[in-house]
């Protein structure tokens, strides 16, 4: 499998909105980088930072990818404007969606090696970013969530080209893992089975086991 890399996007935390009199800081408003290469670090990309490390960032959420394969659905069904970085992603990719990518899949990207660690769980900042109160619910109901990579090997990577899968995992698809954690219809058996996969992020495993 090869994923076309449409854009690499980064941001620093900045005011997103004011809620209950408090300024909400976020780095969800990411923009494409202008350089030819970017350094992939253990917990982030060069030039990128998260605002709230209690729920974002860390080794298991180092790089967030979102498939442009979902854009037609968002545009045609819900009138959402789609562009690189629109979902707060670091990597805008094309070639497979959440059903085709599995927990534990590994992809080479330049000198770096990435491993799929967990689905993205939407929060209220996604709603503020899109200006659509229903955005997080739509992402949750339809499991069009994208996925996080952990960084196995750091290195310099091109901002254009492809991510090539070098290891095909026997793990659950990103969509299966998301549904198990976020949908009530998921069975206890499925939650326990998915939680047992060794490549799954520890915090996501804990979420599954709390519900099992």
Average pLDDT over the chain, rounded to an integer: 95
Of 148, 183, 198, 197, which is closest to residue 45 (Cα–Cα)? 148
Percent with pLDDT over 90 in the chain: 89
pLDDT per residue as tens digits for the range 146-182:
999 999 999 999 999 999 999 999 999 999 999 999 9
**Does the pLDDT value for residue 212 go beyond 70?**
no
Q: What is the pLDDT of residue 21?
A: 87
User: What tokens were used for 165?
Assistant: 């899968």
Please, which pLDDT band fits residue 57 given cuts at 50, 70 and 90? confident
Neighbours of 168 (CB within 10 A): 11
Q: What is the pLDDT of residue 165?
A: 98
User: What tokens were used for 150?
Assistant: 């952990």
Provide the sign of the torsion angle of the four alpha carbons 41, 44, 47, 49, taken in this order: negative
Q: What is the pLDDT of residue 153?
A: 98
C-alpha span between 127 and 142 (Å, rounded): 16
pLDDT per residue as tens digits for the range 36-45:
999 999 999 9
**Does the pLDDT value for residue 205 go beyond 90?**
yes
Q: What is the pLDDT of residue 26?
A: 94
Q: What is the pLDDT of residue 118?
A: 98
- Could you give the C-alpha distances from 144 to 4, 70, 97, 139, 203, in angstroms and in order? 18, 7, 8, 5, 20
**SS3 assignment, position 75:** helix
């Amino acid at each position: 499998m090869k994923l076309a890399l449409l854009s690499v996007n980064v941001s620093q935390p900045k005011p997103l909105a004011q809620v209950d009199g408090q300024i909400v800081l976020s780095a969800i408003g990411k923009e494409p980088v202008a350089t030819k290469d970017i350094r992939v670090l253990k917990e982030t990309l060069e030039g990128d930072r998260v605002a709230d490390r209690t729920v974002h960032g860390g080794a298991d959420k180092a790089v967030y990818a979102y498939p442009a394969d979902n854009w037609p659905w968002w545009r045609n069904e819900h009138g959402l404007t789609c562009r690189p970085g629109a979902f707060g992603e670091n990597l805008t990719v094309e070639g497979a969606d959440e059903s085709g990518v599995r927990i534990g899949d590994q992809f080479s990207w330049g000198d770096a090696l990435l491993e799929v660690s967990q689905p993205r769980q939407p929060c209220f900042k996604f709603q503020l970013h899109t200006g659509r109160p229903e955005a997080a619910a739509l992402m949750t109901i339809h499991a069009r969530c994208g996925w996080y990579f952990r960084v196995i090997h750091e290195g310099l990577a091109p901002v254009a080209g492809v991510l090539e899968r070098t290891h095909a995992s026997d793990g659950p698809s990103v969509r299966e893992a998301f549904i198990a954690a976020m949908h009530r219809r998921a069975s206890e058996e499925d939650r326990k089975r998915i939680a047992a996969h060794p490549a799954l992020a520890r915090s996501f495993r804990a979420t599954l086991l709390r519900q099992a």
